[in-house]
């Protein structure tokens, strides 16, 4: 069934009840759910130390609107001589070419300063973006933080 006057192949607009049902089951206060959803996609960076590394976790949507929120944390982590940085993309909800540019910049800064950078990512869509940008082989992501740390230890032994 189509709307009157709409082309035969036009999608049928959902009424409000159908839209809400399509989003999934409701539980609890709707205002809380909206706040939780916004927090899940709000771009932010969480920085911490793990051994000799500065780990920068990127949360939320890392797109053209979000890089300004997380870029300063990556700039700080890649500053100085010989920075050792792990960028963890596992908490990332969305990642596009703007995020790819951010990673390229961080990687370049680390190399210019004689440091090292690791990437942690297990999301198929983000890995596809890295592959499309020809950065998959350059950044060689690990699926977990532990794998990234073990790989670094192996390279230091060689």
What is the per-residue pLDDT across 30-51, written as a single tens digit (0 to 9) for each? 544 454 545 578 999 999 999 9
HEC states along 92-114? EEEECHHHHHHHHHHHHHHHHCC
| Separation between Cα atoms, residue 74 and residue 33, nearest integer Å | 30
Q: Quick: pLDDT tens for 76-96.
A: 999 999 999 999 999 999 999
Residue 40 DSSP one-character state = H
- CB of 104 within 8 A of CB of 98? no
Cβ-contact 123, 89 below 8 angstroms:
yes
pLDDT higher for 40 or 146? 146
What local confidence, expressed as pLDDT, does residue 152 receive? 72
Q: Distance (Å, rounded) from C-alpha 91 to C-alpha 56?
A: 11
Q: Give the separation between CA 100 and CA 60, rounded to whole angstroms.
A: 15
Q: How far is CA 108 from the centre of its chain?
A: 18
Residue in 98, 113, 112, 107 with CA at minimum distance from that of residue 137: 107
- pLDDT at position 15 is 43
How many C-beta atoms surround the C-beta of residue 87 within 10 A? 29
């Amino acid at each position: 069934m189509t709307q009157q006057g709409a082309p035969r192949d036009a999608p049928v607009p959902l009424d409000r009840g159908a839209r809400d049902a399509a989003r999934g089951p409701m539980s609890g206060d709707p205002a809380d759910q909206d706040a939780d959803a916004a927090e899940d996609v709000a771009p932010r960076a969480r920085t911490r130390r793990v051994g000799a590394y500065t780990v920068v976790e990127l949360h939320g949507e890392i797109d053209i609107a979000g890089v300004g929120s997380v870029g300063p944390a990556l700039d700080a982590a890649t500053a100085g001589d010989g920075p050792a940085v792990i960028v963890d993309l596992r908490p990332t909800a969305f990642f596009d070419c703007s995020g790819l540019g951010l990673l390229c910049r961080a990687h370049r800064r680390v190399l210019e300063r004689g440091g090292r950078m690791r990437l942690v990512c297990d999301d198929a869509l983000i890995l596809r973006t890295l592959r499309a940008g020809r950065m998959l082989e350059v950044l060689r992501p690990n699926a977990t933080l532990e794998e990234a740390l073990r790989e670094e230890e192996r390279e230091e032994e060689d």
